[in-house]
Amino acid sequence: MIKEELNKKKEEAELGFGTKNYNESVRFLNRDGTVNVKRKDSKNHIGFDLYHWLLGITWKQFIALVFISYVGVNTLFALVYFSIGADKFGGLELYSGSEKFSQLFFFSAQTLTTVGYGHIFPNSVSTSSVSAIESMLGLMGFALVTGLLYGRFSKPKADIQYSDKAVIAPFRDHVGFMFRIANKKQNELIEIECQIGFAYNDPVTKKRAFHFLELERNRINFLPLSWTIVHPIDDKSPIYGLTEENFHLGDAEFVILVKAINDTYFQTVYSRMSYKADEIEWNAKFIPVPQTPHKNGSISININDLHEYKKL
């Protein structure tokens, strides 16, 4: 019976990263929450999913990619039209060579978007055929972009701001591992839960050990302000007795998983992050986040104050 309970606890303490003890320092979760594991489908090729990549990049990257693609496609078709011959278009007789190319670029933009002002028009079979193909590609391309925009806007997610540093600070009669979170958006998150996994290269077994850490409080109902998440480092804690040097030698990593319900979509959302040994401040304490009341009865906080701490 005892052996079965020990095996069950061992299974529960598996985060999915295996128990291999690596010679080099590794990080399982990046600061942005992405899993830092590259899965290859051959010796040198990393599997790539274009759709999920387009949904996952930042808005700046997405807009820049759409703009560059738009300019690139129109430039390509302008070159095709120019190589066929500007004389195959009506309305270009009054322009010089460089002006003809720029006008063909704008003609391509009008064809791609199916605007078609009619100032310049194809008057041959070859140019009409190319413009017909461009119109079809334009319809398909904008349909794809529209779908991606909808997917990016409609995808529920938890925009959680984590403190830049975690701290080891006095807590009750012992010390505690602490970090802070807050909701970056103006929507509300409800039924927020947190789970911390501790990964450590065990010098005795020469394997990477995983432990789930007990929290002072692992769940709150609302996250309107900030939440300081605390793991008490008492004699029951798996990190009890470990020093800052042990953290570095054991390549320690605190893997954070936050789960909540987004009340806009009423869907469960997740947020991930991790702290490595060099991102933990020892003998430090967080400075309380100032709360500013307003005449209309509301309260405001500055998310940037989440990172403030002081050495003890």
pLDDT tens for residues 182-192?
Answer: 999 888 899 99
Domain segments of the chain as ranges: 53-154, 157-311
What is the rounded average pLDDT for all residues in the chain?
86
Q: Strand ranges (DSSP E) for 150-282?
A: 160-162, 166-171, 174-183, 189-201, 208-213, 219-222, 226-233, 253-262, 267-276, 280-282
Strand duo 280-282 + 166-171: pairing: parallel
**142 or 5: whose pLDDT is higher?**
142
For 297-307, how does the pLDDT look when each residue is reduced to its tens digit (9 = 90+)?
888 989 899 99
Q: Name the strand (E) or helix (H) holding 25.
A: none
Q: Give the type of residue at 113.
A: T
- Position 2 scores a pLDDT of 33
Q: Hey, what CATH topology would domain 53-154 get? A: Helix Hairpins (1.10.287)
pLDDT of residue 9: 45
Decide which of 21 and 122 is more confident. 122
**Percent of the chain at pLDDT exceeding 90:** 48
Q: What is the tens place of the pLDDT at every residue in 227-254? A: 999 999 998 999 999 999 999 988 999 9
In which band, very low, low, confident or very high, does the pLDDT at 1 lie, cut at 50, 70 and 90? very low
Neighbours of 143 (CB within 10 A): 10
Which fold, 157-311?
A: Immunoglobulin-like (2.60.40)
Distances (CA, A) of 28 to 17, 194, 200, 244, 273: 8, 18, 12, 20, 9
Residues contacting residue 119 through CB under 8 Å, at least 6 positions apart: 91
